[in-house]
Structure 1
Amino acid sequence: MTKKEFKWSDQYFNDFVETTTINGVFHIFRGRSKTRRLLWGLLFLISFVSCTIVLGFSFKRYSEKPTVSAINVISEENGMPFPSVTVCNRNFYKYPNISNETDTLIHHLFHSSGFLQNINRTQECKIDEDTPDFKLQDLLIPKENNFIYYCALSYQAESEVMLCKDMFFPTLTPAGICYTFNGVRSKTRALNMTTTGKRYGLRLILNIEQETHLAFDGVAGVQVIVHESNDIPRPNLHGIGVPPGQNVDIGVKRAISSDETDQDACIENNEKDLPFLPGVVYSQYACRQNELYESLADKNLCNCIIDPFELDNATCFLHDLCCLQQQFTEHDRNSSCRPPCKYTYFDIINSYSSFPEGHALTEIKNSINTSDDYVKKNFLSVSVFLQALETRETTTRYSYGVVELLGELGGNLGLFLGISIISVMELLVLVVDELKKCVCPKKVKQKFKKFDEKLKCIPDCVEQEEKNEIQALTNF
C-alpha cells in the first residue's frame, strides 16, 4: 500500500502551488517526503525572516532621507559679469541739528547690527518737539559726501581704465547708508570680465571722515560686501571689515547653491514677489526686509514708505521714528519667510597690507591739503577682482529615493525568495479567488462543476466533431 501524496483540499491553492514562480513553495507542498518538505519549509522561513530584516533596514534608510551634494564647475569662456560691490562706513554720520537722544535712536534704527539690540526698549520713545521735522534721507545722507575718494575699473589689458566714482548709489541697509556699485539702481551695468587677477577689477580709495562720522561702537573703518547685482547687500552677514590705513585685496569666485530636497521647505525664486524691493532676487533676508517695509507702510501703523534703493521716494519723517522703533522690534517675530531653493553667492579670499605709503600718501595729502596723520586715520583702499572665470554649482539632492528603494526591494526579494512582480500578481490572484470563494461559495462550486464537466466531455466532443466533418465531406 503506497503512501498518499499530501494534497491541499482547496482547488485555488492547489493551482497556485503547481504554477507559482516563488522559489521553494512547490517543494514545501509537493516534496517527495515529509523530511524534504520540512527542510524546504525551514529554509523558506529563514529566507523570509532574513529578507524582512534587510527590507526593514532599507525602509529605515529611506525614511532618514540621506542626501548627496554634486559639484559642477561651469566654465565662462566668454567672460562673466562683474559682481556688485557695496561699501558701508562703520562711522555713523551725525546730523548737526538734532539732539543726542534722537541721534542715538537713529543710530540704533539704521546703523546697528542688531537694530535695537542695545537700546532700552522699556523706555518711552520721545522726539524733541523743537526739532524740525526732517525727512529720513536728510538725516542719514550728508549733503557733502566725500566717502568715495577714488574709483577705477579695469576690464582687460587692452582696455582703458574707467573712472566709476559717480556709479555708486546710496542704499539703506541694517548697517546704515551704504553705497553700491553695479547694483539694482545702476542704469549701466559693468561689462563682462574676460581677465582675472589683481590688475583687473575694481579699485577704491575711501575716506571715512572720522571728524564728522562718529564711531558709536568704538570701531572705525568700512564693511565691504560682494554680491549679485540683483541681490540685496547684507553687511551684517557677509561684510569684510577694513580698518583705516589698510589695503585689502578681495578675490572672488562665483558659486551657486541649489537644493532639490524638501527638508528646508525652500521656495523657488519666482514663487513670491517682493513689492517693496523691485528687481531684487528672492532670499530669506530680502523677504524679511520686504515684510518690514510692508508693515511700516500700513496705514494703521506708521503709514511710512521706505525704498532702500530710492531714498528720495521715502515718506518717513523725524516724527515717525518712534513708530519705526516699535515695528523694527516686532517685525521678525512672525516672519513667514522661507529660504530659497537656489541662490548665488561669492567665495572670498582676502589679504591685507598697509595703505597709503610713498607716492600715494603724498598725492592724497596734497590733493586735500592735510597731514600724513589725517590720511592714515581716515583713508583706506579696497581692490575687488575675479579669481577665476567659472561658476561652481553645488546641487543637493536625495541619494536614496523611491527608485533606489524599489531597486533594493526587488533585488532582496529576488535574492532571498525569488519573488518578482509576477509573483506578487500570483499572490493577489490567489487572495481574490479565496475572497470570492468565501463570499460566494455556491457560485464558485457551480463554476468548478461546469468546468469539470467540460473537461470530462473533451474526448467525446472531439470524436463527435470529427464525425460531423466526415459526414459534411460525404454530403459534399
Structure 2
Amino acid sequence: MVYCSSSIIKLNMAKRIHDVVQRFASGTTIHGVPKLIRAQTIPGKIFWSLICLAALGVFIFELALLLQKFFGYPKSVDVKVVQEPVAFPSVTVCSVHAMDPFVIHKIYKLRQEQMEHRMRRKPWVISKNVSDFEKWYFDTFLKKSMSYVLEPSYLEGLIDRHDLKTEFFPSLSSRLTLAANLNKSITFPGVEPAELIAFCRYARQECSFEHFKTVFDPYYFNCFTFNASVIAGSLKTLAEGIENALSIVMYIPKLHNEIKIGTKVKLPGIVEHDIRDPLAGSGGVRVVIHPPDTQPHPATEGFDIMPGYSVSIGVKTTENTRLGRPYGNCTETTKGVFSDKASYRYTMTSCRKKCLQNLLSREVKDGCGCLDVVLPTFPEVNGVDFCAKFDDIPRKCIFGPFARRNESCKELKARWLKRMICMRDIETSGSHEHIAITENCNCHPPCKDLSYEFFYSNSLWPGQQHKQDVYRDLFISRRFERRFQEGQRTYYFGAENAQALNVTEQEKTVDRFARLNVYLYDTNVVKITETKDYTGIQLISDVGGQLGLWLGISIITLTEVFELIADIVHLCLKRKRKQSIREGNCTPAEITALNRRNGSTTV
C-alpha cells in the first residue's frame, strides 16, 4: 500500500519551483541567460554557456581589482591657498650664556679665593652671605665632581686614554651635568626675563617680559616663550607685515676678560669655552619659532642671533591635515603614547625624544635605568634619576691608597661612567633592536598641525647715528639698569647709574643689544589636506558598472532576483499550510506520476 500525500506534494513543489526559476531565467534582463534557456540545439546551449561563464569570469577579475584598490586605502592630497586668520607662532628666546654672567663672576672669584687658600695651606670656608646656589655649588657639586677626577684608577678597563680626555672629563665639566645634579629646592641663577627682554611690542601694542612664560632647558637653562593670545586675546590674526611684528629688544651681556681661556681656575659645570662643546663660548640669543602650545627644543630647532644686529623673520603658515588609520598613520594630538594633556600639544619631535627617554629608563638589557637630562620627561618616568647625577662617594673612596686598592670603592665610582657610556651607546646606536623599540612608540605626524616657512634677513642695529637715541630710550626713559641689583649694574654697565657713563661707554653698552622681529609676511594659508581617494560609495558604483558591462545586471535585475526569492518563499509557506490534504491509496494518475519520477512502470 502506498501513501501518496507527501510524495505528491513534494513532486508538485519541485515542479512549481522549477517553473518559477525557468520563468525567471527566460525573462530576466541578465544578458545571455535567456539566450541559454531558449537555445534549441546543444551547440547553441554550449556557446551561450561559454559566453556567460567568460563574462562571469571577467567580472570576478574586475571585482577583485576593485576590492584590492578599496582595501589598499588610497588617499589623495589636496593643496589650496586661502586667506583667513593665521595662528601667530610661539616665539621662544634663550640666552646663550645660560647662567647669569654676574653669578659666574662671583663663583669665579670664590673659586679663585678657595684655590689661593689651598696653595697657602689655609682652611677656606665659604662666606655666609652667598646665595643658596653658590653654597650648593661649592659644598656639593664641586666636591662630587672632583671626587671622580681624583684617584682615577677605577677607570681601568672602562675607557681608553683618548676617550678619557675627549669625552669623560668634558662630561664632568659640562653644563648638562650641572643641570642633572641641580637640587630642585635651590633657585637656579639663570638669566631672568627682566634682564634679557628690554622691550617688547606685538601688533602695535607694547608688551613686556611679564608676557613671557619661563621654561627650563638643560642647554640654555631659562628660556622665555611668547604666545600671542596673552596680549592680543587670540592666537589668530590677519595683520601681516613687519609693522605688526612681534619685536623684542634683548640685552646680551658679556663675560669680563678676567675669566680667560687656559686659566688654572676651573669651574666644572660652568664652562666658558671648550672646543669640544658646540654651545660653549658663544654670545647671543637662541631663538625658536614653533606652533602655539608646543614644546620648544632650542638645541635642535633654533637659530642664533648676535648682539649689534636686527634680525627679521618672515613667517608663512602651512596647515596640514592628515588621515588616520587605515588610510594613514597620523596621531591625534591628545592621544600620543607619551602625551601630557597638562603641558604641551603632541608633536612628532617630542614623541621621539620621549620614546628615547623611555628606552633609557628601562633597567633591563635594552636600557640604562636612568634618564638623559637633555630629553623631556613625562609621568611614566617620574622617580628615575638622571644618568649624569653623581653618586654619593664616601670620603675614604675619594683619594688615597684605600681608594686605589678597594674594589668596592672602584665599583662605586665606576657607576657614573657606566651610565654615561650606556647612554652614549644607546643614543648613537643604529642597532635593529633599538630601532624596533623606538618604532613601537608610534611617533607619527599629528593628524592636524601647523608648520612654518621662514625668510631670514638681518642688518646692523643700532646704526652709528642712532646709538644715542637707543641709549636714551632704554636707559633715560625706561631706566633699564634698574632691573638689575646693586653690583650687577656696575658689572654690566660700568656704573650703578647708567646716566653717569660717557658717550663711548654708552655706545659700547648699546652694542650689547639685539633686536628680533617676527612677522607674518603672507596671511594666505597653504592648506594641505589628505582625503580618501576611493570610498565605499565609489566601490559600489564601480561594482555596479562592472555588473552592467559584463553581465547586464542593473538595479532592475536585482529587483527581479528579489521577486524570484519572494516567489520561492511564498511557495514554501503555501506548502506548509496545505500539508496532509489526504492519505490513502494512490489513484492511477498519481501512480503514473510517481513512476515517471522514480523511473519505473509498476508500483
User: TM-score under structure 2 normalisation?
Assistant: 0.52
Contact 2:249 2:514 in 1 (8 A): yes
User: Does 1:386 pair with 2:520?
Assistant: yes
The verdict on how the C-alpha distance between 1:237 and 1:397 changes in structure 2, with shifts beyond 3 A counting, is farther
Contact 2:348 2:443 in 1 (8 A): yes
SS at match of 1:321: coil
Deviations along 1:45-89, whole A, 9 cap, x unmatched? Answer: 44334333333332332233221123455544xx55643211233
- The residue that corresponds to 2:465 in the other structure is 359
- The residue that corresponds to 1:343 in the other structure is 448
Q: Which has the higher strand share?
A: 1
SS at match of 1:211: coil
* Aligned 1:284-433 pairs, distance under 5 A: 284-287=348-351, 321-322=389-390, 336=441, 338-339=443-444, 341-356=446-461, 357-361=463-467, 368=493, 370=505, 379-389=513-523, 391-420=525-554, 423=557
Moved more, 393-402 or 28-37: 28-37
- The residue that corresponds to 1:437 in the other structure is none
User: Does 1:89 pair with 2:95?
Assistant: yes
- The residue that corresponds to 1:110 in the other structure is none
Q: Tell me how far 1:27 sits from its aligned partner.
A: 0.7
Moved more, 408-417 or 354-363: 354-363
SS at match of 2:243: coil
Amino acid at match of 2:224: Y
Q: Tell me how far 1:125 sits from its aligned partner.
A: 7.8
- The residue that corresponds to 1:232 in the other structure is 295
Unmatched segments (≥5 aa) in structure 1: 1-8, 106-117, 156-160, 435-439, 451-455, 457-476
The verdict on how the C-alpha distance between 1:246 and 1:305 changes in structure 2, with shifts beyond 3 A counting, is closer
Q: 2:75 aligns with which of 67, 73, 81?
A: 67
Instruction: Output the CA distance in 1 between the equivalents of 2:469 and 2:510.
Output: 10
Deviations along 1:104-162, whole A, 9 cap, x unmatched? Answer: x9xxxxxxxxxxxx995999989999xx974487456146973334322233xxxxx41
Amino acid at match of 2:546: N
SS at match of 1:253: strand
Matched length:
404
Q: Tell me how far 1:171 sits from its aligned partner.
A: 1.0
* Aligned 1:255-274 pairs, distance under 5 A: 255-262=318-325, 263-271=327-335
Contact 2:372 2:387 in 1 (8 A): no
Query: Identity rate of aligned residues, in percent?
Result: 20
- The residue that corresponds to 2:345 in the other structure is 281
Instruction: Output the CA distance in 1 between the equivalents of 2:370 and 2:56.
Output: 70
- The residue that corresponds to 1:196 in the other structure is 240
Instruction: Output the CA distance in 1 between the equivalents of 2:251 and 2:143.
Output: 24
The verdict on how the C-alpha distance between 1:137 and 1:20 changes in structure 2, with shifts beyond 3 A counting, is farther
The verdict on how the C-alpha distance between 1:279 and 1:142 changes in structure 2, with shifts beyond 3 A counting, is closer
Q: Tell me how far 1:411 sits from its aligned partner.
A: 0.7
User: TM-score under structure 1 normalisation?
Assistant: 0.63
Q: Which has the higher helix share?
A: 2
Q: Tell me how far 1:399 sits from its aligned partner.
A: 0.3
- The residue that corresponds to 1:112 in the other structure is none
User: Does 1:141 pair with 2:186?
Assistant: no
The verdict on how the C-alpha distance between 1:179 and 1:23 changes in structure 2, with shifts beyond 3 A counting, is same
Instruction: Output the CA distance in 1 between the equivalents of 2:166 and 2:567.
Output: 78
Instruction: Output the CA distance in 1 between the equivalents of 2:49 and 2:383.
Output: 85
Q: 2:200 aligns with which of 136, 142, 151?
A: 151
- The residue that corresponds to 1:251 in the other structure is 314
RMSD: 5.6
Instruction: Output the CA distance in 1 between the equivalents of 2:78 and 2:387.
Output: 53
Q: Tell me how far 1:23 sits from its aligned partner.
A: 0.9
- The residue that corresponds to 1:166 in the other structure is 210
